[in-house]
Amino acid sequence: GFAKLDFHREERQGYPEVVFGEGKTVYQIIEIIKVLKARHRRILATRISPEKAAAIQKEVENLVYNETARTLFWKNAEEQTILYQGYVAVVSAGTSDLRVAEEAAVTVEAMGCEAVRICDVGVAGIHRLLDNLEIIRNATVSVVVAGMEGALPSAVGGLVSHPVIAVPTSVGYGANFGGLSALLSMINSCASGISVVNIDNGFGGGYNAALIHRMANEKRGEQQ
Amino acid sequence: GFAKLDFHREERQGYPEVVFGEGKTVYQIIEIIKVLKARHRRILATRISPEKAAAIQKEVENLVYNETARTLFWKNAEEQTILYQGYVAVVSAGTSDLRVAEEAAVTVEAMGCEAVRICDVGVAGIHRLLDNLEIIRNATVSVVVAGMEGALPSAVGGLVSHPVIAVPTSVGYGANFGGLSALLSMINSCASGISVVNIDNGFGGGYNAALIHRMANEKRGEQQ
Amino acid sequence: GFAKLDFHREERQGYPEVVFGEGKTVYQIIEIIKVLKARHRRILATRISPEKAAAIQKEVENLVYNETARTLFWKNAEEQTILYQGYVAVVSAGTSDLRVAEEAAVTVEAMGCEAVRICDVGVAGIHRLLDNLEIIRNATVSVVVAGMEGALPSAVGGLVSHPVIAVPTSVGYGANFGGLSALLSMINSCASGISVVNIDNGFGGGYNAALIHRMANEKRGEQQ
Amino acid sequence: GFAKLDFHREERQGYPEVVFGEGKTVYQIIEIIKVLKARHRRILATRISPEKAAAIQKEVENLVYNETARTLFWKNAEEQTILYQGYVAVVSAGTSDLRVAEEAAVTVEAMGCEAVRICDVGVAGIHRLLDNLEIIRNATVSVVVAGMEGALPSAVGGLVSHPVIAVPTSVGYGANFGGLSALLSMINSCASGISVVNIDNGFGGGYNAALIHRMANEKRGEQQ
Amino acid sequence: GFAKLDFHREERQGYPEVVFGEGKTVYQIIEIIKVLKARHRRILATRISPEKAAAIQKEVENLVYNETARTLFWKNAEEQTILYQGYVAVVSAGTSDLRVAEEAAVTVEAMGCEAVRICDVGVAGIHRLLDNLEIIRNATVSVVVAGMEGALPSAVGGLVSHPVIAVPTSVGYGANFGGLSALLSMINSCASGISVVNIDNGFGGGYNAALIHRMANEKRGEQQ
Amino acid sequence: GFAKLDFHREERQGYPEVVFGEGKTVYQIIEIIKVLKARHRRILATRISPEKAAAIQKEVENLVYNETARTLFWKNAEEQTILYQGYVAVVSAGTSDLRVAEEAAVTVEAMGCEAVRICDVGVAGIHRLLDNLEIIRNATVSVVVAGMEGALPSAVGGLVSHPVIAVPTSVGYGANFGGLSALLSMINSCASGISVVNIDNGFGGGYNAALIHRMANEKRGEQQ
Amino acid sequence: GFAKLDFHREERQGYPEVVFGEGKTVYQIIEIIKVLKARHRRILATRISPEKAAAIQKEVENLVYNETARTLFWKNAEEQTILYQGYVAVVSAGTSDLRVAEEAAVTVEAMGCEAVRICDVGVAGIHRLLDNLEIIRNATVSVVVAGMEGALPSAVGGLVSHPVIAVPTSVGYGANFGGLSALLSMINSCASGISVVNIDNGFGGGYNAALIHRMANEKRGEQQ
Amino acid sequence: GFAKLDFHREERQGYPEVVFGEGKTVYQIIEIIKVLKARHRRILATRISPEKAAAIQKEVENLVYNETARTLFWKNAEEQTILYQGYVAVVSAGTSDLRVAEEAAVTVEAMGCEAVRICDVGVAGIHRLLDNLEIIRNATVSVVVAGMEGALPSAVGGLVSHPVIAVPTSVGYGANFGGLSALLSMINSCASGISVVNIDNGFGGGYNAALIHRMANEKRGEQQ
Ligand SMILES: Nc1ncnc2c1ncn2[C@@H]1O[C@H](COP(=O)(O)O)[C@@H](O)[C@H]1O
Ligand SMILES: Nc1ncnc2c1ncn2[C@@H]1O[C@H](COP(=O)(O)O)[C@@H](O)[C@H]1O
Ligand SMILES: Nc1ncnc2c1ncn2[C@@H]1O[C@H](COP(=O)(O)O)[C@@H](O)[C@H]1O
Ligand SMILES: Nc1ncnc2c1ncn2[C@@H]1O[C@H](COP(=O)(O)O)[C@@H](O)[C@H]1O
Ligand SMILES: [Mg+2]
Ligand SMILES: [Mg+2]
Ligand SMILES: [Mg+2]
Ligand SMILES: [Mg+2]
Ligand SMILES: [Mg+2]
Ligand SMILES: [Mg+2]
Ligand SMILES: [Mg+2]
Ligand SMILES: [Mg+2]
């Protein structure tokens, strides 16, 4: 059969199993998490409203809810959260972009990597970005989150030489067309080293960044 | 009749009469310019190809052709080119945006205002913009020209406190959709003090800037 | 450091600090306003619902709520509202455009400039516009607000020789696509001297107009 | 069979048979015209380039070519061109819209109705429209042709009480998106009494207007 | 002044004054209707919900509410409803299009013309249309209302020789994009004699049809 | 390996191997055909210009070129063209749609099925469709090809009870947006039994129809 | 009259009469079902919410509600559900696509054909599809349902040689634009043998598949 | 000044300086390359037509032209092409996507990394992809290039656990809208670990992949 092809996802240390919570009932999420706990060391659930989170936490122990990111995270008690050296920079433009940036940061952490958050550094006040340049440059990879005109990834991309994962958000109004404006900006960026995920897909931004970070950095507390 | 309402455009000193050359024949443009010369001190024609320009210059004296802007300019021999103090900054992102930026600059000059050109300062290398910050800040108003992701006006808008006229260009490929990407970026800018004209409309950018500049600055060599 | 570059916004007399209220809680807005009051003479908050406004006004004294514009304005008791000579015309097409026009007018005033409102003068009854022509022509700059086909800025632009800031609104239905129809009309205007801000962005329209007005007019009660 | 239902188009006096020339060869058009001449009193062919027209005129006598409209018209020698009292106003905004307006006017005439042309009266100079108000108001119906922001039908619609057929054109550049901007303007017009045909469809505009005109006016030289 | 130009809409017998109810409060509508009653013989208000209608009817006598069309109509007691001979055909495709078709029919009647309704004759069962062919052909003009693929006006246009006013509706789902699909179909119709109004604009369809009908038909009970 | 899965397309009698000619050089097409001839009984090449066809025919014998469809077809001398009983109806709206309809018909034939062509039966003259109703109804499946408003598949779908494959074409101008208008019409059809392929994809329409036809009909000259 | 043309849909055994429930009241649906029961052996109602279903079931006996598909099905007690040999494969990508897939499957069954459901086999885990290959290949026709990137029909189309009816869903967020992304994917599929219905149109997918299946397969328990 | 901030791009070993050839003249490109040769060890020029390439190669020695990728590459004679261990997989769907895939591969190589090309493995024949699974899985990162429905990155993303850079191409016709269809597919992919660059941007795909590869792999012939 196909077993030889090893299609089945092996359980790799530090890779969370991820549940997309939108459109799932509290009951369904609880059942899924219970099953996953037996086989995985880390579980991440995204798009969980505060009400759902409270109900789920009553039935499952040790779930950490992040209100901004709207995520639930669980890990085996013996498991360390951060497994790798170095860090991923999660850079965001405005206050309203925070929920997406936080989804990215939480995903990075769920993948066993450290996330350093740099917030409110949109291009309309470029000095705020420059003030944080050292910390961004020293990251392995940046996740850059912006709505409205979505210009921040271009500015960051021009200042760093590592890969930038750009996350457009639906923040804005009028001719932003639910994030299309930011998405087009990022796809058309004149800076090199930028690639883009879906509108509001903080999870995707964080997941891509962590995949890169893990390959590029050694594990903490061990010599590879 | 309507004469009392003064609908007819009075001939104001320093306002050029403008001819839109696209879709007009060499013969038509020559005829129009000849008529205008009798009544105006300054004439600007835009969207003139080099071939057309050469043919027109053979028939009309003292026409200056700008190859990048693709404009023809004529002024009465006694007329000074620059009539007002101060200057307009014409800032552009990339080499391919130059033809639009130059159309803007030539229009500013045809309106009797000085244009200072700052080129190749796109956001992917933000230090190039910062190196030119003093000269941009000292202008009365900026025309900012960019294609692709169209992020430059946001960056400039955040660094200056004067009005910014943003001109999106059709420069780019793929998902730039003929300049739509840059237009949406500029319309959705999170910086205040930015307003936008049509894609590739360097003329409009320069005209708006000059209208503002003339109101804000005194005439050279006179006390208003 | 960057201090030499003077990135930090100096406190200029008559420039309000502006709070974008959408998506912020009552508590957050109160905290922000309290902090700003210590350092600024004028504060404007936009996109504030009547309910939020009432709650905020209970905690902060001397806030003026404009129900149509949905803005809160505060100024230092010693500060005069209008600081400059002359006025900005705020011209709007239909009754439903009033909320956007009023946001523009309140912004103009918050910037220390006088706003003269001319309402309900849409192109479908052009005589209404012509009846108000003198007052519009005597302004320094016009903010022109229209939804549906967004034709008003073209008509105004053809009648005045000062700059026109066009504000498309989402007013209409069917193929207006949330204001896209009006936005495209204004961006494609055949009148010169028109530039455009985002759909429903009354604040942007007013802010741009005031920037121009302040440069073009002397302060009241002083000889510059 | 279906004959009872009278599906077959009867030959009505004064209705031209119309040939859409685009994509047809000279040979095909000649053959079609030859066949039609035997059965019809009037033939109109649209979208005919000057080269094709010259070739066709060599083979078919008494064809009148209109270079602006790019139409060929033939009528039986005994047939009067204009059959009805009154007239249709064909109003257009700019010089580049003339080819579409002329296609409309020629179609009106091919239908046996008089067309009065009012050109170059775009909204950016509204006095030009007002100067022609009487002649437009006295028409039975108006065809109003405009590109770019497409605002003219709204202005005309507000000044007349007869039906207005609006024809958007592809004239313009940048964000006009091949006439979409003008089409959306016209479909969203706030004036009543306006209906719209396809971009550049001068034929459709003229045909609709003539259908209305014929019903509303008596035949010349007869008492109905 | 402008009085000579007669901009002010004269009160013509049988033209209703029309109130667009959407976005207006019950109180505003009552005040407007009260003022209009003093000067007009007929008043039509559109886009009135059942709740609003009930509240308004309590304050104003003799208002007739049409639940499908969501309109309120009032006329002077001495005024006859139908003033003109002949009729307008109001043809609609499916049950869900009825609310728009009824808005058209009520508008036709408010204009003093008779409306004959032909419903549920969409192209997916073309025999239903053919069964009603005689009654449609005998009308002066047709208003044809359809959503989804919007094909009905093309079919009707090919079967009648009078003008067709096409009204696209937002009926449908998925790739109908809120009526865009039907609008594009109608604008691109290969049948001649069709012109189009905005999505869901039953009022516009009826108003255009009545304008044509009144010009083409004599008044009842009088010899013109 | 994967051989067990039988991924490799077996050579089934009567299925042509198809070459997409667009973007391939004459040389490449000749080489491909030569290789295929050794292993297949039927070869179809689509999107072949007349110039390319002539050059290819010089090198490969027995290739039949269809100028309207722009296809080349080759079959083994012993192979019969039509292998199945019954027929597929290929119905098209206008003359300009013929090239797409013919691509569909040729594909049907290359698949060993009979294609009956019914042309020029667009909805603007519905009697033309009704005159051909018997022949369409007796087909196993219909391919219906239309541009502009794309209404024909809805009309056919309502008259037959077999499956309809709808093929939108790019025929038209203005707001047809390269076939988008016809595509949306067909996707939103209110008739059941309709499914849609890409704009101008006559090949896809014919291929789908033939797949169905072959399953539904017995082979000629044999008892299955 | 038209009777000869047999426009009226004959009652064919096994074809359900279908009611589109969206926008209809409980009362309307009950009345329609009551009328249909007298003349038909099978009735299918789609887009019925659980609340409506419960209310309808109280008034009409023997209605089967499918909660996922949101359908009501009734058949004459003597009628067998499955009438034909063989089966239709209903293949879906993700859990959220199930409601659309189930609407397709229920429609297939209402047409008297067997539906085999293969769920959760999206392309992001292609082995899940390959594990089900035999069962899909042995079907007469496949309905393939997918949202987000809509890639599943291409993968299935490449693995089977029978017709594939592709159903895009609105599942996803951000740049999926309500299903447009999946629709475009399917329309542009590079696999042959795929045709597409509207977004979320499970009914259309099932109906097309059953039309094909019935023609291609013999009735159960009879020798044709 | 800004020197402290180190904005100026240091010359890093193995990073090519890249020239975008589109819109530049032969003369301009030659001048740029001459200047760069003095300061860099590697130069890549993209979007160079064969004619331009020939002319440039006459003036500059040791330039290697890649006809498919339309690139020119130069490196210092002492410089090794491949500097890093491991490889990047460049996977493409169809023959027409090769020019974009090759631009990606050449860019990867210009960055000093090895590129392994896997071509013609589109999802319509998934076994072709599975046959190459081992070689793709053993890469550090994949660049996946596809036009039309753009489904390949989703399939690859589900089979590998390394990052995938997706490159949509403009290959296709009709409703592919110049690559928009493929772009939307990739942005909406349900597989994790995928990020996207602009349509036809092979350079961007290769550049991003090489950035990641260099961080994740040791240099050849050295112990870091
Ligand atoms: N916020 C998110 N946005 C996009 N994809 C997500 C998100 N969260 C989880 N996913 C993806 O959804 C998959 C789980 O989907 P499901 O099986 O429906 O729970 C995960 O493997 C992730 O690839
Ligand atoms: N490059 C340009 N882009 C947009 N508008 C222009 C341009 N050049 C001139 N115009 C406008 O076109 C008008 C002249 O048009 P025309 O009468 O056709 O020559 C001028 O008054 C300007 O408002
Ligand atoms: N310029 C035009 N634009 C749109 N439709 C036209 C035009 N000229 C002719 N037609 C229509 O095309 C039909 C003739 O098309 P054909 O049979 O292809 O020559 C006429 O009956 C008109 O309805
Ligand atoms: N006119 C056409 N439109 C769309 N697809 C086609 C067309 N002609 C051939 N094809 C498809 O293209 C495949 C061959 O592509 P290629 O290998 O590039 O020659 C065939 O198997 C068909 O599926
Ligand atoms: Mg960079
Ligand atoms: Mg600023
Ligand atoms: Mg003006
Ligand atoms: Mg009117
Ligand atoms: Mg007709
Ligand atoms: Mg049918
Ligand atoms: Mg297949
Ligand atoms: Mg993966």
Categorize the per-residue pLDDT at B59 as very low, low, confident or very high, splitting at 50, 70 and 90: very high
Q: Is the pLDDT of residue F113 over 50?
A: yes
Which range (B212-216, C77-81, D177-181) has the least confidence?
C77-81
Burial letters D98-127, b for 16+ CB under 10 A, else e: bbbbbbbbbbbbbbbbbbbbbbebbbbbbb
Categorize the per-residue pLDDT at F2 as very low, low, confident or very high, splitting at 50, 70 and 90: very low
pLDDT at E223: 41
Q: How far is CA H7 from CA A122, A161, B122, H215, in A?
A: 19, 11, 14, 21
CB of D131 within 8 Å of a chain B CB? The answer is yes
Q: Is the pLDDT of residue B203 over 60?
A: yes
CB of F88 within 8 Å of a chain G CB? The answer is no
Interhelix angle D202-216/E202-216, rounded to 10 degrees, is 50
Q: In H14-125, which ranges are continuous DSSP H helix?
A: 26-39, 50-59, 98-110
Which whole number is the average pLDDT over G72-81?
94
Categorize the per-residue pLDDT at F49 as very low, low, confident or very high, splitting at 50, 70 and 90: very high
Contacts of D199 (CB under 8 A, 6+ apart): D168, D169, D170, D178, D179, D180, D182, D183, F173, F174, F175
pLDDT at C223: 41
pLDDT of F66-99, one tens digit each?
999 999 999 999 999 999 999 999 999 999 999 9
Strands F42-46 and F64-66, bridge-based pairing? unpaired
Give the percent of chain H with pLDDT over 70. 92
Distance (Å, whole) CA A210 – CA A111: 6
Q: The tokens of A77 are what? A: 């008690």
Q: Is the pLDDT of residue G20 over 90?
A: yes
pLDDT of E74-123, one tens digit each?
999 999 999 999 999 999 999 999 999 999 999 999 999 999 999 999 99
pLDDT at E14: 77
Answer whether 0.90 is exceeded by the pTM.
yes
Which whole number is the average pLDDT over G203-213?
98
Distance (Å, whole) CA E181 – CA E148: 7
- Do F175 and D179 lie within an 8 Å CB cutoff? yes
Which whole number is the average pLDDT over D24-41?
93
> Which position has the higher pLDDT, B223 or E91?
E91
Chain D residues whose CB is inside 8 A of the C151 CB are 123, 149-151, 154-155, 185
CB of B120 within 8 Å of a chain A CB? The answer is no
Contacts of D137 (CB under 8 A, 6+ apart): D159, D160, D162
pLDDT at H12: 56
Categorize the per-residue pLDDT at A204 as very low, low, confident or very high, splitting at 50, 70 and 90: very high
pLDDT at G13: 65
pLDDT of C166-197, one tens digit each?
999 999 999 999 999 999 999 999 999 999 99
Contact between residue C193 and residue B12 where contact means Cβ atoms under 8 Å apart: no
Q: Is the pLDDT of residue G7 over 80?
A: no
* Nearest atom (ligand 2) to Cα of B21: 19
Q: Is the pLDDT of residue H5 over 80?
A: no
pLDDT of F119-166, one tens digit each?
999 998 899 999 999 999 999 999 999 999 999 999 999 999 999 999
Helix (H, G, I), strand (E, B) or coil at H11: coil
> Which position has the higher pLDDT, B132 or G220?
B132
- Do E181 and F184 lie within an 8 Å CB cutoff? yes
pLDDT at H1: 30
Q: Which residue, by CA, sits nearest to atom 15 of ligand 3?
A: D20
- Do B190 and A149 lie within an 8 Å CB cutoff? yes
- Do C199 and A173 lie within an 8 Å CB cutoff? yes
pLDDT at D37: 92
Q: Which of residues 34-63 of H touch A (CB under 8 A)?
A: none
Burial letters H102-136, b for 16+ CB under 10 A, else e: bbbbbbbbbbbbbbbbbbebbbbbbbbbbebbeeb
| Tokens 């070459």 found at | F19
Q: Is the pLDDT of residue H4 over 80?
A: no
Give the percent of chain C with pLDDT over 90. 84
> Which position has the higher pLDDT, G153 or F1?
G153
Q: Is the CB of A203 under 6 A from ligand 1?
A: yes
pLDDT at B12: 57
CB of G115 within 8 Å of a chain F CB? The answer is no
pLDDT at F9: 47
Give the percent of chain G with pLDDT over 90. 84
CB of A215 within 8 Å of a chain H CB? The answer is yes
Distance (Å, whole) CA G60 – CA G75: 12
Helix (H, G, I), strand (E, B) or coil at E147: coil
- Do B158 and A184 lie within an 8 Å CB cutoff? no
CB of C124 within 8 Å of a chain E CB? The answer is no
Which whole number is the average pLDDT over F166-187?
97
* Nearest atom (ligand 3) to Cα of D32: 19
CA-angle at F96, arms to F92 and F102, nearest 5°: 55
Contact between residue B203 and residue B102 where contact means Cβ atoms under 8 Å apart: no
D neighbours by CB contacts (3+ pairs under 8 Å): B, C, E, F
pLDDT at H92: 98
Q: Is the CB of B169 under 6 A from ligand 2?
A: no
Which whole number is the average pLDDT over G8-22?
74
The pLDDT mean for chain D works out to: 92
Q: Is the pLDDT of residue E2 over 50?
A: no
pLDDT at H7: 44
The pLDDT mean for chain B works out to: 92
Give the percent of chain B with pLDDT over 90. 86
Chain D residues whose CB is inside 8 A of the E187 CB are 183, 196-198
Q: The tokens of A182 are what? A: 């930011």
Query: Which ligand number lies closest to the CA of residue D29?
Result: 3
pLDDT of H142-156, one tens digit each?
999 999 999 999 999
Categorize the per-residue pLDDT at E224 as very low, low, confident or very high, splitting at 50, 70 and 90: very low
pLDDT at A13: 66
Tell me, in angstroms, the distance from the centre of ligand 12 to residue H160's CA: 5
pLDDT at F223: 41
Q: Is the pLDDT of residue H32 over 60?
A: yes
Which whole number is the average pLDDT over G128-134?
95
Query: Which ligand number lies closest to the CA of residue H161?
Result: 12
CA-angle at C168, arms to C165 and C169, nearest 5°: 135
Question: Of H164, H182, H165, which Cα lies nearest the Cα of H173?
Answer: H182
